[in-house]
Structure 1
Amino acid sequence: MAPRANWKGFLRLSLVTCPVALYSATSESEKISFNQLNRKTGHRIKYAKVDADTGEEVENEDIVKGFKVDTDTYIEVSKEEFENVALESTRTIEIDEFVDRSEIDPRYLIRPYYLVPDGKVGHDAFAVIRETIRELNKVAIGRVVLTNREHIIALEPLDKGLMGTLLRYPYEVRDPQEYFDEIQDVKITKDMADLARHVVNQKAGRFEPERFEDHYETALIELINQKRAGKPITPKEKPDAGNVVDLMEALRRSVGGAAAKAEAPKKPAKKPRKVASGQKEMLMPIVGKKPAKEAAPKKPAARPQRKSA
């Protein structure tokens, strides 16, 4: 099943326009997720929208958004009134300017999207815009409305498509001086700097995302598999953080540790898992469950039994 577009509209550079669709470039659906349960019954917890004063449940069609102006005073804004805020960026990404990628502060980056032509028409115009950005080696800056908010979006070529990264507004970025003012000014000796630089050089490498593994996710899968199999759960010992007080001694130990690790025989790289199935493929099958083609006729659902932790 094809992914659902987060937004559809038009991409425009001056008089050149083409229909486009915006898709989320990332997903967390493969991560282990949990539901909240009633410890006493094992039933899933359900959340209801209730009136804060009467305690009565409110239907979705009776819920409107409100801006709080006082303790008990709100300005209500209906769905129709939101739609009347007709910004051009609601349906069109207008490229306003081109900037160097290095000029975009990383703190302003929010999340990436894929931008592709929508339908069979407009591929020529899309290619013209894409290749113009690529040739200039710039990032195109425009605006787009997502989830009732206008965002700045930075567009840059990625293979045959465009990658659009949502950017924050200046008022969304906090002043670092509020956090950095109390950091002491420390003078670093040459010996310390040399040792630290040596550690960094020994650990130098290339950014290869496929080598990364979510260790916490793996530990969760192991925990779930153990509970499924009815095995006892024993707490693991926490690693010792060490207690080296002398900074020079800590740096010397770091140099020795990095050197030993570099000389150790390298383990063969793990075969990356299939992206489609993710880490959940490691979960063991439910005991007694048959393959789909041999599945027996369904029986009436019985109340699930819980296993205590």
Structure 2
Amino acid sequence: MAARPTWEGHLRLSLVACPVSLYPATTSAHDVRFHLINPATGNRIRTRTFDAEGGAVERRELVKGYEVEKDEYILLTDEEIRSVRLESTRTIDIERFVDAAAIDRIWWNDPYYLVPDGKAGVDAFVVIRAAMEGAAKVALARVVMGTRERVVAIEPRGQGMLLTTLRTHDEVRDQAGYFDEIPARKPDAGMIDIAERIIAQKAGPFDPGDFNDRYEEALRALIESKRDGGGGGTKAPPPREDNVIDLMEALRRSLEGAPAEAPKRVAAKAAKPKGKPAAAPKPAPKSGGNAKAPARKRAAAR
């Protein structure tokens, strides 16, 4: 494996334990990253650590501080922080098993590959994985990663296991503050029927290869164009204006696969006539005049 493990320790189920390692299942190595450059010199900007009153200081001389009041801190050294480490620092101790469907997706966070560390623990690892696969359950455990203890979910995946950190209750905001203002009225049944048919038309398998970061691609194209000596790059199309549209007409056109047109306003004003303005109506003839009545009126009088 080219990657270095994020965490090493033991996986324990009751009295059965085996050495394991965690490897990140995702990577940000391909993200476009920038540095701050001084355009006058072409040099990269470096940051230094400064005391608010005493000037520059070395980072290795600093300690961690927890703010209890404005500008008042409780200081903690690395040794003091290490002294309160829990057993889960080096042990993933399985506490219970639950159905995967019982964990709402909002709680799932970062995934890691869980693999045996060396040949000594392979047999125990395989037994635990096979037993979990047979029971169709997800294991819940705790582990200290970095300086935080995280609740994690463990599930079989191929010949190994996938460990995913779970968010704590304090990390998830209450949805009520965001959804309460959404009206509870029932949508039009005809619109729902058309929307469901559009969903059926677009249904298909999930292929992550179909989805990419178009902004990242545009950035890379811009960088390559400047690298080749050009001054330009790609330009994203401007976003469409947020018009009030005829929802039913938009749904019908979506279902039929018609080409997109400019959105129509629901309460559109009367269309202005094109070309020359219409001539003003002629004044009605005065009574007793010789002007003839319009043909339509003469026909009606017969």
TM-score range, shorter chain: 0.7 to 0.9
| 2:15 is equivalent to residue 15 of structure 1 | yes
Q: Distance in 2 between matches of 1:81 and 1:242?
A: 56
Equivalent position of 2:254 in the other structure: 254
Alpha-carbon distance, 1:184 to partner = 1.7
Q: Deviations over 1:2-21 (max 9, x none)?
A: 21111111000000000111
Letter in 2 for 1:198: R
| 2:204 is equivalent to residue 205 of structure 1 | yes
Equivalent position of 2:132 in the other structure: 133
Equivalent position of 1:295 in the other structure: none
What secondary structure does 2:231 align onto?
coil
Q: Distance in 1 between matches of 2:9 and 2:148?
A: 15
Q: Deviations over 1:137-188 (max 9, x none)?
A: 0000000000110000100011111100000111111100011111122321
| 2:36 is equivalent to residue 5 of structure 1 | no
Q: Distance in 2 between matches of 1:260 and 1:136?
A: 51
Letter in 1 for 2:252: R
Task: State the TM-score, normalized to the length of structure 1.
Answer: 0.80
Percentage of identical aligned residues: 49
**Structure 1 consecutive aligned stretches of length 4 or more whose deviation exceeds 6 Å:** none
Q: Deviations over 1:52-103 (max 9, x none)?
A: 233x222122111111001121001110011111311001000000000000
Equivalent position of 1:179 in the other structure: 178
Q: Distance in 1 between matches of 2:137 and 2:109?
A: 19
Letter in 2 for 1:172: E
Judge which range, 42-51 or 90-99, deviates more.
42-51
Unmatched runs of 5 consecutive residues or more in structure 2: 261-302
Q: Distance in 2 between matches of 1:8 and 1:232?
A: 48
Q: Does the CA-based 8 Å contact 1:12-1:94 persist in structure 2?
A: yes
Letter in 2 for 1:96: E
- Matched positions, count: 259
Q: Deviations over 1:190-228 (max 9, x none)?
A: 111111111111111110112222222211111111111
| 2:99 is equivalent to residue 103 of structure 1 | no
Q: Does the CA-based 8 Å contact 1:244-1:250 persist in structure 2?
A: no
Alpha-carbon distance, 1:46 to partner = 0.8
Judge which range, 138-147 or 223-232, deviates more.
223-232
Q: Distance in 2 between matches of 1:165 and 1:236?
A: 36
Q: Distance in 2 between matches of 1:256 and 1:102?
A: 36
| 2:223 is equivalent to residue 218 of structure 1 | no
Q: Distance in 2 between matches of 1:44 and 1:13?
A: 51
Equivalent position of 1:49 in the other structure: 49
Judge which range, 123-132 or 229-238, deviates more.
229-238
Q: Distance in 1 between matches of 2:90 and 2:218?
A: 44
Q: Distance in 1 between matches of 2:238 and 2:151?
A: 44
Alignment RMSD, CA only?
Answer: 1.8
Q: Distance in 2 between matches of 1:242 and 1:148?
A: 46
Alpha-carbon distance, 1:253 to partner = 1.8
Higher RCO (C-alpha 8 Å, min separation 6): 1
Letter in 1 for 2:25: A
Q: Distance in 1 between matches of 2:175 and 2:163?
A: 27
Larger radius of gyration: 2
Equivalent position of 1:152 in the other structure: 151
Unmatched runs of 5 consecutive residues or more in structure 1: 262-309
Task: State the TM-score, normalized to the length of structure 2.
Answer: 0.81
Q: Does the CA-based 8 Å contact 1:111-1:165 persist in structure 2?
A: yes
Residues 244 and 253 from structure 1, CA distance in 2 versus in 1: closer, same or farther, beyond 3 angstroms?
Answer: farther
Equivalent position of 1:245 in the other structure: 245
